[in-house]
C-alpha cells in the first residue's frame, strides 16, 4: 500500500478485462486472501495522475500488456457501494494494516473500464499482495464477488454488446490469425445468441476488413477452414466510419 496522502481520496479504478478462450468470454479476476471472494483488478488514483493513466497501469500490472483497447464505460457512485463492512472485513482478514482502516472506510466511487485482450498473451497474470491468485473466470459462472463488482461486470458486458456494432472487436480479442468460425463464435458469445453461419460470413466479408491467407487450420476431422487476419488500416477506417447497422 502506497502512502495514502498522495492519493486522490475516495476514488478508485476497476478494470473488466475480457478475454476469449475455448468459446467462452472470460474475465480476469483476483481471489482475495482469506475472504475467499473474488474482485476485479483495480487501483487507486494518484493526485497527480490522470484517471485514464491509472486504468492503464492496472492493466499493465496484472497482464503485462500496454497500449491495448481500454475504454472507460461508467462511474459507479452510489454512496453505500463499499458500506458498511468492507473496511472491517479487509482488516479482520489481515489484508490491510490498521493504520489504513479509516482510509478504506471513507466513501468510495470507482470508475469502470473494460479492456479487450488476446487470451494467449496473458499466460501468467499477476496477483497483487492481498490476493492469493489471479485467474480467468468465465463470465457465465462467476463466484461470489466483493462489493458491486458483479454489477460492474454486467454493465461492462452490456456496453461491449452495444459497442460491437460500432467496433469490430475481433482484432483485440483474437490471435493474429483466426478462422471464420472462430470469429463467429466470438460474436455469438458476446451477443449471447446464435447467428447463421453463411450470413455471418457474407456480412463480415462485406466490411472488407479481413485478409484471407493461404493457410488453413488442420487437425479437425472435417474440411480445414481458411485462416484470416485483419487488415488493420481498413479496420481502423471502418471503426471511424462506424459499422453499418447491427447484428
Partner DNA sequence: AACTATTGTGTCTATAGGACACAAACATAA
Partner DNA sequence: TTATGTTTGTGTCCTATAGACACAATAGTT
Q: Tell me how far, at minimum, the Cβ of 32 lies from a second copy, in Å.
A: 26
Binding piece for DNA, criterion CB under 7 A, among 23-31, 35-43, 68-76, 195-203: 195-203
206 lies in the site for DNA, by CB under 7 A: yes
| CB of residue 72 to a second copy, shortest distance in Å | 6
Q: Which is nearer to DNA, 20 or 108 (CB)?
A: 20
How many residues bind a second copy (CB under 8 A)? The answer is 25
- Applying CB under 8 A, does 16 fall inside the site for a second copy? no
Query: Is residue 192 part of the contact set for a second copy (CB under 8 A)?
Result: no
241 part of the interface to DNA, by CB under 7 A = no
| Helical spans, DSSP H, in 79-168 | 86-92, 101-105, 149-163
Does residue 78 touch DNA according to CB under 7 A?
no
With H, G, I as helix, E, B as strand and everything else as coil, classify residue 76: strand
Angstrom distance (rounded) from CA 215 to CA 107: 55
Q: Does 142 bind a second copy (CB under 8 A)?
A: no
Q: Judged by CB, which is closer to DNA: 10, or 181?
A: 181
Task: Kindly state whether residue 214 participates in binding DNA, applying the rule CB under 7 A.
Answer: no
Cβ closest to a second copy, residue 162 vs residue 202: 162
Q: Which is nearer to DNA, 83 or 244 (CB)?
A: 244
50 binds, among DNA, a second copy, none (CB under 5 to 8 A by kind): a second copy
What does the buried/exposed string (b/e) look like for 123-159 if buried means 16 or more CB atoms within 10 Å of the residue's CB? eebebeebbeebebbebeeeeebbbbbeebbebbbeb
Please, which residue, 33 or 155, has the CB nearer to a second copy?
155
> Judged by CB under 7 A, does residue 220 bind DNA?
yes
Give the pairing type, strands 7-21 and 109-116.
Answer: parallel
In whole angstroms, what is the distance from residue 11 CA to residue 104 CA? Answer: 11
Distance CA 178, CA 104 (A): 45
Torsion of CA 142, 144, 147, 148, to 10 degrees: 30
Q: Which residues contact 114 (CB under 8 A, 6 or more apart)?
A: 15, 16, 17, 18, 70, 71, 73, 156, 159, 160
Beta-strand relationship, 24-32 and 38-39: antiparallel
Distance in angstroms (rounded) separating the CA atoms of residues 99 and 107? 17
Residues found near DNA in the complex (CB under 7 A):
179-181, 196-199, 201-203, 206, 216, 218-226, 244-245
Residues found near a second copy in the complex (CB under 8 A):
8-11, 45, 47-52, 72, 74-75, 77-79, 106-107, 109, 111, 162, 166, 245-246
Amino acid at each position: 500500500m502506497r502512502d495514502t496522502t498522495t492519493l486522490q481520496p475516495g476514488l478508485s479504478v476497476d478494470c473488466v478485462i475480457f478475454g476469449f478462450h475455448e468459446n467462452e468470454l472470460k474475465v480476469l479476476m483476483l481471489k482475495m486472501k482469506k475472504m475467499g471472494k473474488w474482485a476485479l483488478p483495480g487501483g487507486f488514483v494518484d493526485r497527480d495522475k490522470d484517471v485514464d493513466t491509472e486504468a492503464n497501469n492496472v492493466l499493465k500490472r496484472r497482464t503485462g500488456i500496454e497500449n491495448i483497447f481500454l475504454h472507460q464505460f461508467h462511474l459507479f457512485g452510489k454512496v453505500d457501494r463499499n458500506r458498511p463492512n468492507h473496511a472491517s472485513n479487509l482488516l479482520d482478514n489481515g489484508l490491510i494494516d490498521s493504520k489504513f482502516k479509516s482510509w478504506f472506510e471513507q466513501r468510495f466511487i470507482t470508475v469502470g473500464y473494460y479492456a479487450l485482450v488476446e487470451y494467449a498473451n496473458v499466460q501468467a497474470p499477476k496477483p497483487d499482495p492481498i490476493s492469493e491468485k489471479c485467474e480467468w473466470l468465465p463470465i457465465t459462472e462467476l463466484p461470489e464477488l466483493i462489493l458491486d463488482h458483479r454489477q460492474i461486470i454486467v454493465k461492462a458486458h452490456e456496453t461491449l454488446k452495444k459497442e460491437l456494432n460500432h467496433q469490430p472487436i475481433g482484432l483485440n480479442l483474437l490471435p493474429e490469425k483466426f478462422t471464420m468460425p472462430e470469429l463467429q463464435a466470438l460474436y455469438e458469445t458476446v451477443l449471447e445468441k446464435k447467428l447463421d453461419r453463411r450470413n455471418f460470413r457474407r456480412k463480415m466479408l462485406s466490411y472488407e476488413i479481413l485478409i484471407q491467407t493461404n493457410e488453413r487450420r488442420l487437425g479437425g476431422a472435417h474440411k480445414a477452414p481458411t485462416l484470416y487476419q485483419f487488415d488493420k488500416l481498413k479496420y481502423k477506417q471502418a471503426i471511424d466510419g462506424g459499422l453499418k447497422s447491427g447484428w
